[in-house]
A and B are shown apart, each in its own frame.
Chain A
Amino acid sequence: MKKSHILGIVVIAIAIGIIMSTAGDASSYVTFNEAKAMASSGNDAKIHVVGTLKKSSDGTVEGIEPAGDKLSFSFLMVDAEMREQQVYYPEPMPVDFLRSEQVVVIGAYHDELFIADKILLKCPSKYQEEEIRVTS
């Protein structure tokens, strides 16, 4: 067997290892119902849930509960299946949180509470201007 063949086999082995490990570490986008099902079946993997903040009919955000020391907060989030869920975030509220049009939370269920490790926001104006402010 030539050395280049051995090297080739080693490279392929590492590449397969990388792919397997990536597949194992990959998270997934799920709904709260699926996340709940995963958590109750003992799977505590971190998952992504996409949704929006719960808003009242006049457009104000509902259900924000800052902690007494302001260093953490919880909020109500509605996912694609319109399920409402309380999400707890152990960090101060991200700037622009209330303006976001879409929220992605990465985390897992702890009993009835969803605890987010990370929050990604999509704010409308950051990406594309949608209205023209008419100033006189």
Chain B
Amino acid sequence: MIHSFIGNLGHLSVIVAFVSSLIACFAFYKATTSNQLKKQGWLSYGQTAFYVHAVAVLSVIVCLYFIVYNHYFEYHYAWSHSSRQLPFYYMISCFWEGQEGSFLLWIFWNVVLGMVILNTSRTWKAPVMTIFALVQGFLTSMILGVVIFNIKIGSTPFILLRDAMMDAPVFQMNPDFIPEDGNGLNALLQNYWMVIHPPTLFLGFATTLVPFAYCMAGLWTGKVREWIRPALPWALFSAMVLGVGILMGAYWAYETLNFGGYWNWDPVENAVYVPWLVLVAAYHTMITYRNSNTALKTSVILVVATFILILYSTFLTRSGILGESSVHSFTDLGLSGQLLIYLLVFTILSILIIVYRWKDIPTSKKEVSTYSREFWIFVGATTLCLMGFQVLVATSFPVYNSILNGIGFESNMALPADQVSYYTKFQLWFAVAVALLSGTGQFFWWRKMDTKLLRETLVGPILITLVVSAIIMWITKVTEFAYIVLLVAGIYSVIANAKILWNLKNKSWHLSGGAIAHIGIALMLIGIMYSSGYSKIVSLNKSGLLISREVDDEFNLQNLILFLNEPREMDKYSLIYEGRNVEADDVSGYVPVEILSPTNDPYYWIAAEDVQRNGRVVKARGDTLRISPENIYFKVRYQQQNGQDFTLYPRIQVNASMGQVASPDIKRAVTKDLYTHLSYAPFMTEEETREWTHSDSLTIQIGERFFINDYVATLNDVQRVHNIPDIKLEEDDIAVKATISVAGNSDDYTIEPIFLIRDQRVARIPDVINDLGVRVAFSKINPATDSFDFDIYTTQKDFVILKAIEKPYINILWSGTLLLVFGYVIAIRRRYREFVLSRNKGLE
């Protein structure tokens, strides 16, 4: 049965949300423009409309969650993003796997922010909420899914599967067909970071609207100066959330993806990085304005640019324009036109408003002094913008191509082939400038400066910097010129800001946010320099095998092949691949696959041996274990000379509809991480199953030596046995066991096949040695010649190809991140208190 009610309710709620946002926009607009008498009426009308909007949005979310939670696979959204086996805490993640759901998340955050503004703001309420409601109108239109005059507006998450796939044959046979199960959530998103990273990032996206709305409201109502005060804490908050969102994404990529790092310069990453840089520049100039009445025009431009860049990146990632230049942009839902209109409307509107008010925005007439903090902050903001500009120019290549091709020119520009070096060669020097400015700028910030005083102030920090840098460079062997410069600049910034912090100790700690955040940034830069610049591939292939005759010796192979249980040397380690493992419910750690036997259901396996944890049997032989078959963990043991062995479990995820994905496992230490991921493992797909081939039939006498799969083997003994595992012998049964010893490359093995006679019928119980890829069956006893027949089967031995990378001092990056957030929290608290104070005085 098709549950059509819940979908209709959801769809109705979307329409209500859309209409109510337009009504709210109109009402708040009237409340802003009409006279004092009518103002209150329009205002409460608009508020009511926004509350209706909020309730409608919540209803949309509840309906969609209801559909996913109850496995209503007649709905396209549930079918394509969920499955019956999906744990409930990952059902939340279904929201952001699909494009519609992620719009919904964005809409939801805007509702929350709108509520906060309705309840904290007084005189700003009407104009700010006009902008908010307009944005909500555009966003809800993206998930509207109605057709007006043959134009499809938005893509609804409540579409039924049969409507989404009208051409599928199964629906032509049976329109009421409901799939048994869904396609499941992308295995990569089944990760705790993916539960919190998208909401954080979208909160960051949503919060950029607040400073923008205040700025627009200020220009519109003629309060061209006053908007800064309420907007400042929001700009700081937005920069913090967006920054944390970006770094969570980086951390997720480091832990889950296999490109060997935390940042890939993928257009989707760049699309968030650029607005963040501009936003950081924006709040710096806003702070300058609060203190010295300069840089108001710059602040306006930067705040507006941040929001427009967010819209632009939304357009880039969701319109399908990035095509093959990005690995993880969303699918095109036919929304490109709508997204473009959204982008253009706000770009043109804000340019018009800025132009209209330009001459009313005050500028300071006097020439800025080189010794003023305004000057240095302005230089810093410019650096941040240029930093963003360089990334934006290249990321927009697909846009140039489609514009040029659209107007009849041929254009086939592609991203730089070596993206890392393209971005690094500029970003590194900008980062040096940022570090130097954030160190020096702080001195200008707290004191009036002149040449003499500046020299006195700077001498101490510079001397300390040089000494500390020299020591650190010597210990950590930094030799590359560019890295030395970045390291020195970073250390200088840490020391200079630490001095500021020291000077502030007798004042109020509320002022320390800036210095702490700057130390955080400097540490992050140092951490990035070490972990990326000195990341070292340790899994070099030293086998000396010729790769290809056509190619010169120029390829340095960076992967290592490990056969099951055969140790190999790598750097200072000896590595052994010890087999495949899975995770099972109610069992901590990993369970080896070889002690499990399959059932008809891939999620349930039976233990062939006792599973012990801390000396206690947690699953006895014969118990059924519920496992997650998508995740296979490959056990790799690292042995060291000093006896400090450890084991890593890099993972490959297999999903029928998503393909295979390799995820690393990381050995963390204070000074460096050892990052290991698999480049390849065999037998992972249905097409590539393990096949046994019959290689030999041998007739052998006791004590004779022979070859199995090129290994030397000896038949030691043949004896009658009265007990065999897993089979109950009856009284008249005759069981005979052969004992064969085999010398492997690194170990000796014993093979014990069994020959069983029951009711005059013969059964053969073969024995398998996985390490050697060998199966032996005991096929015949020849009493006449005193010999025995064996059948030998062989297969490809299990192996993995892995890559291991050392990432030195990566913890400096993560700890810098924490400091940065801490600094933000202090600064936001301070600026928010300022806003509350002035609001309560009626100054707002």
Judge whether B413 and A18 touch: CB under 8 Å.
no
User: Which of B170, B390, B422 interacts with A134 by CB under 8 Å?
Assistant: B170
A129 and B652 alpha carbons, distance in the complex (Å):
22
Distance of B772 from chain A, by nearest CB (Å): 18
CB-CB contacts of A14-42 with B at 8 A, as 1s and 0s?
11001101100111111000000000000
B277 sits at the interface (CB 8 A): no
- In the assembled complex, the Cα of A118 lies from the Cα of B559 at a distance in Å of 15
Interface contact B165-A71, CB-CB below 8 Å: no
Contacting residues, chain A, for B547 (C-beta < 8 A):
67, 71-72, 90
Please tell me if A92 contacts chain B, counting CB pairs below 8 Å. Answer: yes
Contact (A131, B379) CB under 8 Å given A91-B559, A120-B327 = no
**Docked complex Cα distance between A54 and B163 (Å):** 35
Give, as a whole number of angstroms, the nearest-CB distance from B376 to chain A: 11
Contact B170 A132 (CB under 8 A): yes
Q: Mark A108-133, 1 if CB is under 8 A from B, else 0.
A: 00111101011010110111110111
Alpha-carbon gap, A92 to B677, bound state (A): 13
Give Cα A26–Cα B412 distance, bound, in whole angstroms. Answer: 10
A100-112 to B contact mask, C-beta < 8 Å, 1/0: 0010101100111
Q: Which of A28, A70, A128, A134 contacts B412 (CB 8 A)?
A: A28
Residue A47 at the B interface, CB < 8 A? yes
Contacts of B557 in A (CB 8 A): 71-72, 90
- Residues of chain B within 8 A of A112, CB atoms compared: 550
Residues B179 and A132 in contact, CB atoms below 8 Å apart: yes
Is B801 a contact partner of A92 (Cβ separation < 8 A)?
A: yes
Q: Quick one: CB contact mask for B562-601 with A, threshold 8 Å, 1 for yes?
A: 0000000000000000000000000000000000000000
User: Which residue of B168, B331, B415, B559 contacts A127 across the interface (Cβ within 8 Å)?
Assistant: B331
Q: How far is the CB of A114 from chain B (nearest CB, A)?
A: 11
Q: Mark B658-685, 1 if CB is under 8 A from A, else 0.
A: 1111100000000000000001100010
A136–B177 Cα distance when bound, in Å, is 11
Q: B170 near A71 (CB under 8 angstroms)? A: no
Q: Within 8 Å of chain A (Cβ to Cβ): is B814?
A: no
Q: How far is the CB of B357 from chain A (nearest CB, A)?
A: 21
Contacts A22-B394, A106-B417, A129-B80; A11 near B684 (Cβ below 8 A): no
Let me know if B389 and A113 touch, CB within 8 A: no
Instruction: List A contacts of B180 (CB < 8 A).
Output: 135-136
B191 at the interface (CB under 8 A from A): no
B226 at the interface (CB under 8 A from A): no
A115–B550 Cα gap in the complex (Å)?
10
CB distance from A127 to the nearest CB of B (A): 5
Complex-state Cα separation, A99 to B364, whole angstroms: 63
Within 8 A of B (CB), among A24-83: 25-30, 45-48, 50, 67-72, 74
Shortest distance from the beta carbon of B278 to any chain A beta carbon, whole Å: 14
Partner of A120, one of B324, B367, B379: B324
**Contacts between chains A and B (CB distance < 8 A), count:** 151
Q: A4-B368, A70-B680, A113-B550 are in contact. Are A123 and B659 (CB under 8 A)?
A: yes
Asked if residues A113 and B680 are in contact (CB atoms below 8 Å), the reply is: no
B324 and A132 within 8 A (CB): no
- B 359-402 binary contact with A (CB < 8 Å = 1; else 0): 00000000110100001001100100010011001100100000
Extra A-B contacts (6), CB below 8 Å, given A15-B386, A69-B541: A46-B417, A48-B417, A67-B545, A90-B555, A91-B679, A106-B417
A interface list, Cβ under 8 A from B: 2-4, 7, 11, 14-15, 18-19, 21-22, 25-30, 45-48, 50, 67-72, 74, 88, 90-93, 95-96, 99, 102, 104, 106-107, 110-113, 115, 117-118, 120, 122-123, 125-129, 131-136
Give the 10 A-B residue pairs with the shortest CB-CB distance, closest first. Answer: A46-B417, A95-B660, A96-B659, A92-B680, A25-B416, A27-B414, A92-B679, A48-B414, A90-B555, A29-B412
B residues sitting closer than 8 Å to A (CB atoms) are 79-80, 161, 165, 168, 170, 177, 179-181, 183, 324, 327, 331, 367-368, 370, 375, 378-379, 382, 386, 389-390, 393-394, 397, 412-418, 422, 425-426, 541, 543, 545, 547-548, 550-551, 555, 557-559, 561, 652, 656-662, 679-680, 684, 799, 801
For this complex, 27 residue pairs linking A to B, each with C-beta atoms less than 8 Å apart, are A11-B382, A15-B386, A18-B389, A18-B390, A22-B393, A22-B422, A26-B394, A26-B414, A28-B414, A67-B547, A69-B541, A69-B545, A70-B799, A71-B557, A74-B548, A91-B559, A95-B661, A95-B680, A107-B417, A112-B550, A118-B417, A125-B658, A127-B331, A128-B331, A133-B179, A134-B170, A135-B180
